[in-house]
Amino acid sequence: MIKRIVRLCFKNENTEIFEEIFHTSKHQIRTFSGCKHLELCKDVKDDRVYYTVSIWDHEDSLEAYRKSPLFETTWAKTKILFDEKPMAFSLKTLETLT
């Protein structure tokens, strides 16, 4: 499994627009082949900063999504709203603590 964390920083005036875009596309992303989990988080100190956290069956599923028309359309609407360059991290779990 792959956990994908993406940090997104928007211009203040664009945060509501981004939330609308996410709300509109979240169901399609969550049901994309290989996607096991998707959530949207907001930084506790900076209202302009959001994180998407998703879990994918494997890296091929994530790459298929990133090459899909769904991603291209959603990303085109989102990237024009940024205040800073986004940062993305793909992680695999080595150990889970309980």
Instruction: Write the pLDDT tens digit of every residue in 13-34.
Output: 999 999 999 999 999 999 999 9
Structure token digits, residue 37: 């989990």
Given a contact cutoff of 8 angstroms between Cβ atoms, the answer to whether 34 and 11 are in contact is no
CATH class as words, domain 2-91: alpha beta
CA atoms within 13 Å, Cβ hemisphere of 45: 0
Structure token digits, residue 20: 């609308």
Q: Does the pTM of the predicted model rise above 0.85?
A: yes
Q: If you average pLDDT over residues 53-73, what whole number do you get?
A: 96
The residue among 83, 9, 20 whose CA lies nearest residue 47 is 9
Confidence check: pLDDT of 96 > 80: no
Confidence check: pLDDT of 59 > 90: yes
Q: Which residue has the higher pLDDT, 69 or 93?
A: 69
Residue ranges per domain, the chain?
Answer: 2-91
